[in-house]
Amino acid sequence: MDGARIARLAADNAISHATCDRYVEEGVTVLKAQAPTLQEALTAAKAAGYTHLHLDGTLIETDRCRALGPNGADLWWSGKHKQHGGNIQVLSSPGGDPLWTSEVRPGREHDLTCARLHGLLDPLAKAAEDGLITLADLGYVDAGMGFRLPYKRSRGGTLTDDQIQYNKVHGALRALAERANAQLKMRFKALRNVSKCPWKIGGIVAAALVLFHREQAHKQLSPSVNAGC
């Protein structure tokens, strides 16, 4: 997950390019199979006593060639980021640790569209009924009662003092959603730019999530292990 090119890995291990590529694919498949499902992530969040979760979309950049989508639009081009890439939805803890990641959707699609296609709205609404709300930005307007969004100022209008204060608190809490995305992208260089087929991005991110969770579990065990030595 350090972003090393297949050609370099193949040369370093004295194997063919094709064999190295197959090994990488197999490794990603094995790790992806261990990634938590959405329901498992929500169950774990409730067991941990979390008061809320964050949902945010992140763009995983890709240097693959453009592909035509609906109406001739560039399928993987994100107008927001001015970059080709895939949209990944990241559900994270109040402290900004990633708990669950989605499959990939083309970068041209908006966060709410992706959330709907991944079937997130109903499970998160049910979680909110049980006291576990989801904080999100204005990209999720009309997502439903399970979400808490900042107030949006209407054209020519103003926000009340209470709404302004609410937005400040909401923004301070939700800022940690960016930490979740950063923890994945900064820790795993391979997620900064994917050169494989864009449709494989979801599996690569899921594999990185599994490795991240293993690192976190090891850190939690380390103090007790050292104390017993």
Average pLDDT value for the chain: 89
Grade residue 36 by pLDDT with cuts at 50, 70 and 90.
very high
Grade residue 173 by pLDDT with cuts at 50, 70 and 90.
very high
pLDDT(168) > 70: yes
**When comparing pLDDT for 148 and 66, which is higher?**
148
b/e map 207-223, b = 16+ CB within 10 Å: bbbbebbeeeeeeeeee
Average confidence (pLDDT) over 127-136: 96
Cβ atoms of 109 and 198 closer than 8 Å: no
Tokens of 181: 């995305």
Residue-level pLDDT at 229 = 45
Read off the pLDDT of residues 65-108 as tens digits, 9 standing for 90 and up: 678 777 788 889 998 889 999 999 999 999 999 999 999 999 99
Grade residue 122 by pLDDT with cuts at 50, 70 and 90.
very high
Read off the pLDDT of residues 37-57 as tens digits, 9 standing for 90 and up: 999 999 999 999 999 999 999
Q: Which of 12-26, 64-78, 117-131, 210-224 has the highest mean pLDDT?
A: 117-131
Average confidence (pLDDT) over 206-221: 91
Residue-level pLDDT at 160 = 95
- What's the pTM value of the predicted model, to 2 decimals? 0.87
**Mutual angle of helices 201-227 and 176-187, in 10-degree steps:** 90
Residue-level pLDDT at 12 = 64
